[in-house]
Chains A and B, each alone.
Chain A
């Protein structure tokens, strides 16, 4: 096998790999859009229940005025995410934290309507979709990087011919 034959083989392999990565890119883009639409419908549902809570409790009762500010006491988030390695891929995963946390429902009063509990559950579910979407986005960017490297290699092979 001559050097030229090796180069042609390498070029064919590179083209084949580029095709696969490009198809994967298209699939990932579609998956990201689907996840975003899931987030959209979940957020809309959650906002509906927030609006109902506001209707029951009053306009300022479920608003940014009730949220903690920089002058509030410090507290930790109860829902966080961590990086794990799965099958050679970096992924994010939701983790629960129970150290130095507060119950966010307490910002809005002691006796809150069921709609606010429902809204909390819906937004907690939305966080799962958010992390899924973030994982797809990380894979998209990694794939994009690989395609660029392969394109440069392909141009190098073509210039050697």
Chain B
């Protein structure tokens, strides 16, 4: 029993529109566990933002999920929750959908990485050495 548990990997979950969820579930990542909890959520125009937030928080709290895929346009709706997720695992990956191409300027991880570049640090000798 312990050996079987050690061999089994962790899940890739998805929060996305219909095509994204159908596609990745066709790829084989879908699961309904013994508690009847799925690892995917289909979001449409009628899905309340609170439901998306709750689902995201549930997926990131589960210890059997290593990657959370979320369409970038859906991630925009819960940006504050995604920005608060600091742990490297589960990895939260913002993916494009067929209607919304990828926008690097909106990606939480890239914005955080870009934010560390202070223009003063990057000037050749430091801003304090320039006098006007």
Contacts and interface: CB of A to CB of B under 8 A. Distances in A.
A75 B110 contact: no
B95 interface: yes
A32 B107 CA distance: 11
Given A43-B23, A82-B9, A104 B66 contact: no
Interface in B99-114: 101-102, 104, 107, 109-110, 112-114
Looking at chain B's contact residues, the main secondary structure is mixed
A83 B22 contact: no
Interface string A102-114: 0011000000000
A7 interface: no
A133 B14 CA distance: 15
Looking at chain A's contact residues, the main secondary structure is helix
Contact of A120 (B11, B18, B27, B112): B27
Contacts of B116: 25, 144, 147-148
B66 to A, nearest CB: 5
Interface residues on B, range: 35 or more
A14 interface: no
A69 interface: yes
Nearest to B8: A97
Q: Counting chain A CB atoms within 10 Å of each CB, which of B19, B26, B110 scores highest?
A: B26
A80 B32 CA distance: 14
Interface string B7-42: 011111000001111111111111111101111101
B119 interface: no
A123 B21 contact: no
Interface of A: 22, 25, 28-29, 32-33, 36-37, 39-40, 43-44, 46-47, 50, 62-64, 66-83, 90, 92, 95, 97, 99, 101, 104-105, 116, 119-120, 122-124, 126-127, 130-131, 133-134, 137-138, 140-142, 144, 147-148
